[in-house]
Amino acid sequence: MKVTKFGGSSLASAKQIKKVAAIIKQDSDRRFVVVSAPGKRDSEDTKVTDALISYYQKHRAGQDVSKEQDWICDRYQSICQDLELDPHVLADIKKDIKQLATLPTTDNPFLYDTFLAAGENNNAKLIAAYLRQEGLLAHYLHPKEAGLFVSGEPQNARLLPSSYDKIEELRNTKEILVIPGFFGVTKDGDVCTFSRGGSDITGSIIAAGVGAELYENFTDVDGIFVAHPGIIEQPQIIKELTYKEMRELAYAGFSVLHDEALIPAYRGKVPIVIKNTNNPDAPGTKIVLEHTKPENAVVGIAGDDQFVSIYLSKYLMNREVGFGRKVLQILEDLNIRWEHMPTGIDDLSLVLREKELTPIKEQEIISYLTQQLQVDELEIEHNLSIIMMVGENMRNLIGLTARATKALSEHDINLKMISQGTSEVSVIFIVKTEQEKDAIKALYETFYG
């Protein structure tokens, strides 16, 4: 059996929902359908979830909410009418959307989450009704009935591990269960959402819980690209990717799947496939535990900007016991996360995300390192980018990094730092941001040209 999740763009209009129904009909193993709220119909449009946020804000401020209510109800109305659904379905949805405005705004920590979740919840009812109209045996299932119990951290829910026992019971369903994504319920029965984009997480949890053979995640691209299509014209699609490789690529901004969605499927050993609702016959990108076929050792090339490096050098640093700890202690005291730390004999660099370093924190670091740790040289460099070459099989091949650095040098790209862990899942090059795109193009040409 398969768990099949559809994202907001796959459910934005009646036309899209008809494609979704055709996909579900095509394969009787698709027994669990997880849905997002209706997304954007075009780039100018508003996602229903974002409209619910405006609605919440007005309600919170005690202002008139009728414009927001009407806009959201109209979105569902146009879908219901175009699908020629029984009028009761729309009446139910409208009632649910309107009653949100009756909820108390004080002493109600889950109010925002309840608004957010309404997009998915009503869409699941709508999709289940449409599937039934299309002759399928389908049933809407609230996360509470599915057993999706979560911790009570608003907009940052975590699944309670005990939930899996209840979810497992869904295995025997004879019907297609349509489950709204993005939220669970607390032990007290409050609606609590995952972070934004969290419907992917629901799909992954259900897939792991019922022990699905596959978790299909339908979106609006044919799969995950080897490199960003904004930089490389028509990049190749990655056919197969391991969870570890996906995690590395996601770190550098490949955002097809929610970060947290990998974990449940990974632990439950359920492979994931990213597919396109608008082109369902394309094979998509499969995310697996281990590669099953030989592929290009470099599976993906990612770049991310807004990094900063703190370079420091001190004569005989290597002999000074505890020096590294003292450097890291200052970051900890200032509540700064660090990302990478390439070292030399008498020097080390700390690479951080730009957002971690406010001007005040920067001054604090400079004075601590010069006065207390008495470093000989200190340099803070902004506007850096990381370029990641990702692939688990790279470790078995000789000369890949040589080919990469040769290509970078031929394009006059100055390598500021290189960082490679022993796992060799990725090799990271740090360059000036103005050279980021050229670096990605050079690497793509080398390994995929």
Angle (CA) 128 132 135, round 5° = 145
The answer to whether 180 contacts ligand ASP (rule: CB under 6 A) is: no
- Answer for which of 143, 147, 180, 181 binds ligand ASP (CB under 6 A) is 181
Minimum CB–partner distance for residue 198 and ligand ASP (Å): 5
Instruction: Quote the CA–CA distance of 246 and 223 in Å, as a whole number.
Output: 12
Instruction: Quote the CA–CA distance of 206 and 196 in Å, as a whole number.
Output: 18
Q: Which of 200, 190, 101, 205 is nearest to 160 (CA)?
A: 205
**3-state SS, residue 188:** coil
The answer to whether 196 contacts ligand ASP (rule: CB under 6 A) is: yes
Closer to ligand ASP by Cβ: residue 11 or 387: 11
Minimum CB–partner distance for residue 185 and ligand ASP (Å): 16
The count of residues interacting with ligand ASP (CB under 6 A) is 13
Minimum CB–partner distance for residue 20 and ligand ASP (Å): 14
Question: In Å, what is the CA distance from 234 to each residue of 215, 222, 298, 439?
Answer: 26, 11, 17, 17
The answer to whether 198 contacts ligand ASP (rule: CB under 6 A) is: yes
The answer to whether 8 contacts ligand ASP (rule: CB under 6 A) is: yes
Minimum CB–partner distance for residue 114 and ligand ASP (Å): 14
The answer to whether 203 contacts ligand ASP (rule: CB under 6 A) is: no
Euclidean distance between the first and the last CA atom of the chain, given in angstroms as a whole number: 39
Instruction: Quote the CA–CA distance of 84 and 82 in Å, as a whole number.
Output: 5
Give the interface segment with ligand ASP, choosing from 195-203, 221-229, 275-283, 378-386 (CB under 6 A). Answer: 195-203
**3-state SS, residue 168:** helix
Q: Write down the H helix ranges in 108-227.
A: 111-133, 143-146, 163-168, 199-210
Residues 6+ apart with CB under 8 A from 234: none
Closer to ligand ASP by Cβ: residue 117 or 351: 117
Minimum CB–partner distance for residue 261 and ligand ASP (Å): 9
Minimum CB–partner distance for residue 171 and ligand ASP (Å): 24
Instruction: Quote the CA–CA distance of 270 and 211 in Å, as a whole number.
Output: 7
The answer to whether 182 contacts ligand ASP (rule: CB under 6 A) is: yes
Minimum CB–partner distance for residue 139 and ligand ASP (Å): 21
Closer to ligand ASP by Cβ: residue 154 or 211: 154
25-44: contacts with ligand ASP (CB under 6 A): 36-37
* CA torsion, ordered 101, 104, 109, 111, to nearest 10 deg: -10
Minimum CB–partner distance for residue 113 and ligand ASP (Å): 11
Minimum CB–partner distance for residue 391 and ligand ASP (Å): 28
- The answer to whether 2 and 216 are in contact (CB under 8 A) is yes
89-148: contacts with ligand ASP (CB under 6 A): 119
Q: Which of 118, 223, 131 is nearest to 181 (CA)?
A: 118
Closer to ligand ASP by Cβ: residue 182 or 307: 182
Closer to ligand ASP by Cβ: residue 183 or 225: 183
- Give backbone dihedrals phi and psi of 251, rounded to 5 degrees, phi first: -60, -35
The answer to whether 5 contacts ligand ASP (rule: CB under 6 A) is: no
Give the interface segment with ligand ASP, choosing from 130-138, 193-201, 363-371, 440-448 (CB under 6 A). Answer: 193-201
Q: Which of 142, 144, 60 is nearest to 103 (CA)?
A: 60
The answer to whether 184 contacts ligand ASP (rule: CB under 6 A) is: no
Instruction: Quote the CA–CA distance of 308 and 286 in Å, as a whole number.
Output: 34
Closer to ligand ASP by Cβ: residue 8 or 303: 8
What is the x/- site pattern for ligand ASP, positions 160-179, by CB under 6 A? Answer: --------------------
- The answer to whether 326 and 396 are in contact (CB under 8 A) is no
Minimum CB–partner distance for residue 432 and ligand ASP (Å): 34
- Answer for which of 31, 47, 94, 416 binds ligand ASP (CB under 6 A) is 47
Closer to ligand ASP by Cβ: residue 261 or 301: 261
Which helix (H) or strand (E) element contains residue 13? none
The answer to whether 49 contacts ligand ASP (rule: CB under 6 A) is: yes
Look up residue 10 and give its two tokens: 């796959």
Q: Which residues bind ligand ASP (CB under 6 A)?
A: 8, 36-37, 47, 49, 119, 181-182, 196-200
